[in-house]
Structure 1
Amino acid sequence: MQAHAAGWDTLRLFGVSPEFGAIRGDWKGQLIPLIADVTEVNAEFIRIGPWRAFLLHPIKQQGMIPIWSYGR
């Protein structure tokens, strides 16, 4: 299953701070940095290595941007 089909949006996965990029841990999407393989994706969580990132966990910050827009 693809993450988008399970309800995961771009910022929850690849979001970063518009000012500091990926340096701020409280402004990073679940896949930034990707330090382990994604082994399971569903509507409740993504399993990354031995960890789980839950969709309903409030990680999105006001003003967060996709990492590919940082520095433009």
Structure 2
Amino acid sequence: MSASPAPVDLPPAVAEWRAAIERLPADASPCRHLPPPHWTAIRENCLDFIDRFGVEAHRLGWTASQLFGVHPKYGTIRAEWCGALMVHRESARGVEFARVVFEWTSAHRGKQDQRDGTPVWEFAKRDSWSKQTHLILQLIGHGRTDVRYARVETQGSASRALSGSRRRGPS
């Protein structure tokens, strides 16, 4: 399934959700313990949800954290912090005041012991795993087959990539 083009009549908050999810690479999971194939499905389903139900979810008072949240330090490994769309790899069937409906289950907001997490795009900005994975994909995507390692060194807001000289892959 591929995401459809962004609808032009989205409220600003919903358009922001869509833009933020689109900026996250489809092939690099923002959370260390979320396998990339699972992330790809979740990302596509988030975009589909926004296109189909985003306006209604916003009208019903759903927030970015309630839909796309993850634990601020551990990501998706702490499910009680995850938003409704961050734990399901299937498309949503609808949205109601207190739940997002999936084919066989639903995700409720406001449950006891549930916390509002950090939106996944904010988590990806801060998490070093996400930064390193994204950097490696960028280097490989730019034809850098000589990358032996890539490391992100952060000093303030500047990041620098270091790469080795050993050839990667078949010669």
Radius of gyration: which is bigger?
2
Identity %: 29
Provide the TM-score with structure 1 as the length reference: 0.76
Report how many aligned residue pairs link the two structures.
70
Determine the structure 1 residue equivalent to 2:96: 42
2:115 aligns with 60
> Using a 3 Å threshold, how does the CA distance of structure 1 residues 44 and 18 change in structure 2: closer, same or farther?
closer
TM-score (norm 2): 0.37
RMSD: 1.8
Name the structure, 1 or 2, with higher relative contact order (CA <8 Å, separation 6+).
1
Q: Deviations over 1:8-67 (max 9, x none)?
A: 111111111111111112221111133111111121321022112223324224xx2111
Large movers: runs of 4+ above 6 Å? none
Task: Specify whether residues 25 and 55 from structure 1 end up closer, same or farther in structure 2 by C-alpha distance, changes over 3 A only.
Answer: closer
Q: 2:70 aligns with which of 8, 11, 16?
A: 16
CA distance in 1, matches of 2:87, 2:108: 16
Runs of 5+ consecutive residues of structure 2 not aligned to the other structure = 1-52, 127-171
Q: Which runs of 5+ in 1 are unaligned?
A: none
Structure with a larger share of its residues in helix? 2
